Structure 1
Amino acid sequence: MGKKDKRAKVAEDPQPKKAAKFEHAHFQGLPLAWRFSGCDTAGPFAWTALDDPDYKKVIEALHEFETKNWNEILATGSHPIEAYRIDKPARDRLAAIEQDDIDELMSFRLTGKNRVWCIRVQNIMRVIWWDPEHQVYPTPKDKADRGKKASQR
């Protein structure tokens, strides 16, 4: 007498009904965190240039990034940039604030041109600049212009 298959027969596998509602942006198992103690308070990208109503918008946007995973953050147009590729005034400012020894910066896209620039140390984003006009790493809209810009660096 042969053994009977005692597994339940189903037309299709059941699908889970609940999905995770909240997921931190994990970096090596740690949630995304912001550090403001090193903010640049002088120069062209200083945080002191922010108007009072803008502070609330920026903080809300940074809070929103904390609810995203790394792929979702990158999908917002935010991305790492090698330090040597940023515009010369920004490189000069890095030297002035004694941060010119870093290899990479992280650009967080808030809206259109608005960017927050950070130095990433694992999961901690050391916030340094507010860039309301996309001047730290300007990108031409036209692909032909991008080629020209790259050859000028």
Structure 2
Amino acid sequence: MGKRGNNKKPVNKYEPKAVKSPKILKSPDSLADKLFRWRVGWADLDGYWGWNKITHEQLFRDVITKLHNFESMTWGEIFVKTKKHHHPVEVSKLLKEAQNRLLELEKDDWSELYSIKIGGTLRIWGMKDGQYFQVLWWDPKHEICPSKLKHT
């Protein structure tokens, strides 16, 4: 058995910090932690990249499936972690024809559009409106803002 009258007390080797500070500062208004939502109210139906150019099969199999899968993800997971495939693009970097179409649609007050890769060269384009991705264009040939290949 132990000895009686032992008055030993445990001693901390290190003193814990009294104040904790966050490792990453995030704005409470940041979309990074908010779930991705999408709408089609601004979809261009008639232009060169209009949604009248897509087949029903491709619309449901590829586009709606992709957007539906994104609904369980945050904006940060989609546009930060996978920014190689899905990313914002300044309107000034789009084809002149795309910029002109924005004027026709009276959507020329936006400084950037968002590109979402569906697969291969298939892209959809839209605008971030609060928590919502407002679907705008169907770009099956990756023409609206072609990639510049490195070392060419």
Alpha-carbon displacement from aligned partner over 1:103-127 (angstroms, at most 9, x marks no partner): 0101011101111101101211111
- Equivalences for residues 99-110 of structure 1 within 5 A: 99-110=107-118
Over the aligned positions, Cα root-mean-square deviation in angstroms equals: 1.9
Provide the rounded CA distance (Å) in 2 between the counterparts of 1:119 and 1:71: 16
**C-alpha contact 2:94 2:144 (8 A) present in aligned 1:** yes
Instruction: Tell me what 1:18 maps to.
Output: none
Gaps in structure 2 of 5+ consecutive residues: 1-6, 12-29
What TM-score does the superposition give when structure 1 sets the normalisation length? 0.73
Instruction: Tell me what 2:127 maps to.
Output: 119
Q: Larger Rg: 1 or 2?
A: 2
Instruction: Tell me what 1:58 maps to.
Output: 63
Displacement of 1:58 in angstroms is: 0.8
Instruction: Tell me what 2:41 maps to.
Output: 37
Aligned partner of residue 129 in structure 1, secondary structure = strand
Displacement of 1:70 in angstroms is: 3.4
**C-alpha contact 1:28 1:122 (8 A) present in aligned 2:** no
Q: Return the structure number with greater helix share.
A: 1
Instruction: Tell me what 1:17 maps to.
Output: none
Displacement of 1:30 in angstroms is: 3.3
Provide the rounded CA distance (Å) in 2 between the counterparts of 1:40 and 1:130: 9
**Pairing 1:3–2:18 present:** no
Please list every run of at least 4 consecutive aligned residues from structure 1 whose deviation after the TM superposition is greater than 6 angstroms: none
Instruction: Tell me what 2:52 maps to.
Output: 48
**Pairing 1:136–2:144 present:** yes
What TM-score does the superposition give when structure 2 sets the normalisation length? 0.74
**2:90 counterpart (82, 104, 125):** 82
Gaps in structure 1 of 5+ consecutive residues: 6-25, 146-153
Aligned partner of residue 31 in structure 1, secondary structure = coil
Provide the rounded CA distance (Å) in 2 between the counterparts of 1:102 and 1:80: 12
Provide the rounded CA distance (Å) in 2 between the counterparts of 1:79 and 1:108: 7
Provide the rounded CA distance (Å) in 2 between the counterparts of 1:73 and 1:52: 25
